[in-house]
């Protein structure tokens, strides 16, 4: 067997429309009509000790806010990075929006996604006048498969491009 090092997924162009699709889906099934500019997208990333990786998720949050017309976006993480999910949901609830759309930026379901949904449900119970919608995680989708195949091909061909310019293991980053 030969092992090849591939680049991480980051937020490639193919995953952006999938994140858009996932965040729009629960709005379409909700009975109340709430304007998009009165909705806050709560994007939940995995969270890591690498600020550059966390920054990729922050970049996606900004793109979704601006590209989809959300009134606001709040970014939180399921572990390691802060704010954590429960804290992020509480903060987003205090922002004054009528609706929150909680989008886990995860490839598959598991313990962490279940915890995210449980925290969203708990918030809905505590704040009955605030609509809290749960968007689906990325999951099995042709865009995810295409990105994984693309990364594998790059690795095998020796073309895996990784952004090392801000890696805390390579250069001094503030706080590390």
pLDDT tops 70 at residue 150: yes
pLDDT tops 90 at residue 166: no
- Residue 1: the pLDDT is 86
Percent of the chain, pLDDT > 90?
A: 78
Tokens standing for 123?
């918030």
The mean pLDDT of the chain is 92
pTM of the model: 0.90
pLDDT tops 80 at residue 174: no
- Residue 10: the pLDDT is 84
Using pLDDT thresholds of 50, 70 and 90, give the confidence band for residue 126.
very high
- Residue 52: the pLDDT is 84
pLDDT tops 80 at residue 162: no
pLDDT in tens, 73-87: 999 999 999 999 999
């Amino acid at each position: 067997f030969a092992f090849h090092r591939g680049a991480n997924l980051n937020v490639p162009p193919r995953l952006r429309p999938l994140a858009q699709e996932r965040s729009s889906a629960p709005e379409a099934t909700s009975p109340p009509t709430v304007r998009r500019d009165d909705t806050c997208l709560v994007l939940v990333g995995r969270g890591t000790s690498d600020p550059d990786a966390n920054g990729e998720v922050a970049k996606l949050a900004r793109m979704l806010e601006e590209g989809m017309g959300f009134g606001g976006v709040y970014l939180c993480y399921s572990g390691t990075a802060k704010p954590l999910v429960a804290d992020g949901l509480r903060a987003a609830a205090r922002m004054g929006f009528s609706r929150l759309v909680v989008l886990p930026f995860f490839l598959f379901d598991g313990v962490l996604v279940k915890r995210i949904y449980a925290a969203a449900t708990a918030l809905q119970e505590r704040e009955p006048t605030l609509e809290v919608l749960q968007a689906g995680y990325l999951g099995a989708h042709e865009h995810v498969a295409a990105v994984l195949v693309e990364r594998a091909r790059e690795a095998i061909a020796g073309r895996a491009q990784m952004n090392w310019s801000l890696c805390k293991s390579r250069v001094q980053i503030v706080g590390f």
